[in-house]
């Protein structure tokens, strides 16, 4: 059964703590995001080693494998968007439909061991890009087509919420 697409605008997590996972962007220094991404990524291989990793806890919730593949792709997309912000003046990001990608790329049929390696590599690449940012680059901007505007600093915090939240999804009662 297909998952109902997520149409929420999650940029609110930059203004207030997430009531579900507890992420608080105000407590995150941009300079710490790279290390936090690496730490988060280090937890996913254990999730992907579960015997029922492709099982959905209910009809409206992704499986841990689907969440993991999504997080991998979020890290990859973040590298692309970060590069645009650093290389161009106030770029408009290409649209990305995460739910369409999950279906088209058959997230729930992917090899969990491959997803684990790819997720860690994608996180490491993003963390490396973030570590290379110079002080004046944190203020550079980029935009989504829905009107959301980010600086490199706010984008880093916004991106960090996604894997933090999804790790919470698969480790609390609803996703375990």
Render pLDDT for 2-59 as a digit per residue (tens, 0 to 9).
Answer: 666 666 678 999 999 999 999 999 999 999 999 999 999 999 999 999 999 999 998 8
Instruction: Check pLDDT > 60 for residue 176.
Output: no
**Whole-model pTM?**
0.93
66 is a domain residue? yes
Residue 106 CB-half CA count within 13 A: 3
Q: How many domains does the chain have?
A: 1
C-alpha to C-alpha distance for 68 and 162, rounded to whole angstroms: 11
Cβ atoms 140, 1 nearer than 8 A = no
- Nearest Cα neighbor of 80 from 114, 117, 122, 42 is 122
C-alpha to C-alpha distance for 143 and 154, rounded to whole angstroms: 12
Instruction: Write down the pLDDT at residue 119.
Output: 98
163 is a domain residue? yes
| Helix axes 33-48 and 112-131, enclosed angle (nearest 10) | 180
34 is a domain residue? no
CATH code, domain with 92: 1.20.120.450
% of the chain with per-residue pLDDT over 70: 93
27 is a domain residue? no
Domain of 112 in residue numbering reads as 39-171
- Nearest Cα neighbor of 137 from 74, 88, 93 is 88
Instruction: Check pLDDT > 90 for residue 172.
Output: no
Average pLDDT taken over every residue of the chain: 93
C-alpha to C-alpha distance for 172 and 176, rounded to whole angstroms: 6
């Amino acid at each position: 059964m297909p998952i109902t697409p997520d149409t929420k605008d999650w940029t609110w997590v930059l203004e207030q703590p997430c009531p579900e996972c507890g992420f608080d962007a105000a407590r995150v220094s941009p300079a710490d995001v790279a290390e936090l991404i690496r730490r988060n990524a280090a937890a996913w291989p254990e999730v992907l080693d579960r015997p029922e990793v492709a099982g959905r806890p209910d009809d409206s919730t992704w499986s841990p494998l689907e969440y993991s593949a999504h997080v991998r792709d979020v890290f990859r997309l973040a590298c692309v968007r970060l590069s645009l912000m650093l290389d161009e003046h106030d770029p408009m990001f290409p649209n990305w439909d995460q739910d369409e990608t999950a279906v088209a790329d058959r997230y729930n049929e992917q090899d969990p061991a491959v997803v684990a390696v790819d997720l860690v590599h994608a996180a490491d690449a993003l963390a490396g890009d973030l570590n290379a940012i110079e002080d004046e680059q944190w203020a550079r901007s980029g935009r989504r087509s829905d009107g959301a505007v980010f600086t490199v600093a706010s984008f880093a915090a916004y991106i960090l919420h996604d894997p933090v939240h999804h790790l919470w999804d698969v480790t609390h009662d609803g996703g375990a």
